Amino acid sequence: MKNSFSIQRAAIALLLSLGLVGGAFAEPRREDPARVERDGGRGRHPGFKGLKRLHDELKLDEKQEASWKEAMDARKETGKAMRDAFRKHREEIKGLLDQPNADARAILKRMDEFRDQSQKFHLEERERLLKVYDTLSAEQKEKVRVFLKDRYDHKRPINRHGKRSDRQKGKTIRKD
């Protein structure tokens, strides 16, 4: 019985050490110059470009345009606030992890709190965009539906080789 327990401890220690060593040899992500150019520079969220294209397609009237501008301005402010909060959160978590005998429960609880905070930001942004949606005509709402469908259809996971995988067919599709 005691021998079985020590084998389990040795197996766990081996798995943990392999995980740490494997992480040390992980290759850092390289920026694809074509993607950087397409997305308008590093760190820029591609969603802004898609929303600009949708904005152009909708041909908004003055009232809708004012509502759109208000939502986009709030989105930029929220994005800046979230980036600042994320930087602060990373520094806080890193500081906690650097402490000897750090309490994993406290660290994970703090990570959960940050996730909930960012979820709140996303829901507020969605509500602002839905207020704009409520001002649209039936034709414009159809354009939004097509836009969302297109985005949903193209969201497939990207593997480490920069390819989008098609899970149902087991094939990998290269998107250039």
pLDDT in tens, 68-111: 999 999 989 988 999 999 999 999 999 989 998 888 998 999 99
pLDDT in tens, 15-72: 777 676 555 555 555 555 555 555 544 444 555 567 888 888 899 999 999 999 999 9
Greatest Cα pair distance, the chain, in angstroms, is 78
pTM score over 0.85: no
CATH 1.20.120 positions along the chain are 43-136
DSSP string, 62-108: HHHHHHHHHHHHHHHHHHHHHHHHHHHHHHHHHHHHHSTT--HHHHH
Output the pLDDT for position 8: 78
Look at the domain 43-136 and name its fold: Four Helix Bundle (Hemerythrin (Met), subunit A) (1.20.120)
